[in-house]
Amino acid sequence: MTQRTIVVTGASAGVGRAVARAFGQRGDRVALLARGQAGLEGARADVEQLGGEALVLPTDVAEASQVEAAAAEAEQRFGPIDVWINSAMVSVFSPAQEIQAEEFERVTRVTYLGCVNGTLTALRSMTPRDHGAIVQVGSALAYRGIPLQSAYCGAKHAIQGFTESVRCELLHDQSQVKLSVVHLPAVNTPQFDWVKCRLPHKPQPVPPIYQPEVAAEAIVWAADHYRREWRVGASTAVVIAGNKLAPGLGDRYLASTGYGSQQYDGDVEPDRQDNLFAPQDDVHDHGARGEFSDRARTRSWQFWASKHRKVLSWTAAATGGALVAWSARGARQR
């Protein structure tokens, strides 16, 4: 395949780290944007070991000027940007009434405005060439807010609205730049070790949990195969569909189960450090995976079916036609 220039935000850990590895394995040139220096250097080593080229660009995506400067450096080193992945995020696990105003602001600036900054910067590069793909890393929580994550859910909802608006503008302009979203389920990433937390017990992703490589496979696929939205995991598809059909029932269900499902055995350490305002992978590299690998799934059959839905539809239609013909033949013979 032709070597391309890729930009990945949030590349030092978690889903972004797995995405950087996946593009590196394809031999692409990958610009790595994040705050944590050790995590970025680890990502660089991963990409280069897998056969790609890497460029470390320490960046706080909440700052538009830093994102623009990183993009300029990436293009100077690697050439025009072909794919931009917006994966950076921070969150707060807490009842909404206990979250401070500056914490809401910070989550919004990184998770939502970081996506806005990345998208607009990518468009300034791609639109004049009428070429490129932007992929937003979304979530089932963009459609269905859950308790204890109001700041993060609000930011993901905002990304959904922003992306739909910009996509319409690109269609109006008859642009060939593609803008899509990959909505993810719960993923086993290091964020649960360093997310800001005011819960009595340690935070965890709501089961079922998937490995970050499952998310990365879908994001890389979305960069090559345009669809306005991709959904990963049966749980994501069920949550989004269920919220459309019975949102009130979802409210009551989550009010009953949402607190327990996001915590597990063990009290939160009193000296717990978080990455809301400062990175936690600046000295130590935490990689892509968190501590839930023993419970994490390594494949999404739902996404496999989504990738192959045309073939599956044709197969189902052909099978149905054959069954009808066989039944009709049997009826004639009787």
- Residue 306 has what pLDDT? 86
Q: What angle do CA 154, 157, 160 make, to 5 degrees?
A: 155
pLDDT value at residue 307: 86
The reported pLDDT for the residue numbered 334 is 63
On whether the CB atoms of residues 306 and 227 are closer than 8 A, the answer is no
Q: Are 92 and 276 spatial neighbours (Cβ–Cβ below 8 Å)? A: yes
Structure tokens at 235: 């749980």
Q: Which of 275, 274, 286 is nearest to 39 (CA)?
A: 286
C-alpha 50, offset from chain centre:
22
Beta partners for residue 230, in sequence order: 182
For the four alpha carbons of 253, 255, 260 and 263, in that order, the dihedral sign comes to: positive
Tell me, what's the pLDDT at 320? 56
Q: Which residue segments constitute the domains of the chain, with CATH numbers given?
A: 5-299 (3.40.50.720)
Per-residue pLDDT of the chain (334 residues; tens, 9 = 90+): 689 999 999 999 999 999 999 999 999 999 999 999 999 999 999 999 999 999 999 999 999 999 999 999 999 999 999 999 999 999 999 999 999 999 999 999 999 999 999 999 999 999 999 999 999 999 999 999 999 999 999 999 999 999 999 999 999 999 999 999 999 999 999 999 999 999 999 999 999 999 999 999 999 999 999 999 999 999 999 999 999 999 999 999 999 999 999 999 889 988 899 999 999 999 999 999 999 999 999 999 899 898 877 766 666 565 555 556 556 666 666 6
